[in-house]
Amino acid sequence: MSEYDLPDLEDAPWLSLSKEEIEDLRKQKQQLTEYGKEKLKKLMNKQPTHEEMLDIAERRELINEALEELNAIVLGGQNTREFYLSVSHIRNVLERLK
C-alpha cells in the first residue's frame, strides 16, 4: 500500500492501470482530501460554540427586556419614578451589552 492507501501496481495487477494513471488518482485523492479538510474547517468555524450560543441568547434576552421598557415609555401612563426606572433599566442593559 502506498501512503495514500492505494495499492501499488505490483500488489494489484488486476487494476490494469498505468503508473501514470495511478499517480493521477493519487494526486486527485490528495487534492480532494485537502479540499474536504478546508471545507470542514470553514464549516466548523462558522458554527457557534455552546458558550457563544449562550452569550447570544443572553444578549437577545437583554435586548428584549430593553425593548419592553421602551414600549412602556412609548405607551405612556408612567409616573416620574416609573419613567426614571425604565430609562435606568435601559441604560443598564446597554452598559452590559458594550
Average pLDDT over residues 63-71: 90
Whether residue 20 is found in the same domain as residue 35: yes
pLDDT at 6: 65
The answer as to whether 6 is a domain residue is no
Give the sign of the dihedral formed by CA 53, CA 58, CA 62, CA 67: positive
Residue 83: Cβ-neighbour burial (10 angstroms; 0-12, 13-18, 19+): middle
Q: What is the pLDDT of residue 57?
A: 94
pTM assigned to the model: 0.48
Within-domain flag for 3 = no
pLDDT band at 34 (very low <50, low <70, confident <90, very high): very high
Q: Which domain holds residue 37?
A: 13-46
* Same domain, residue pair 56 and 90: yes
Domain count, the chain: 2
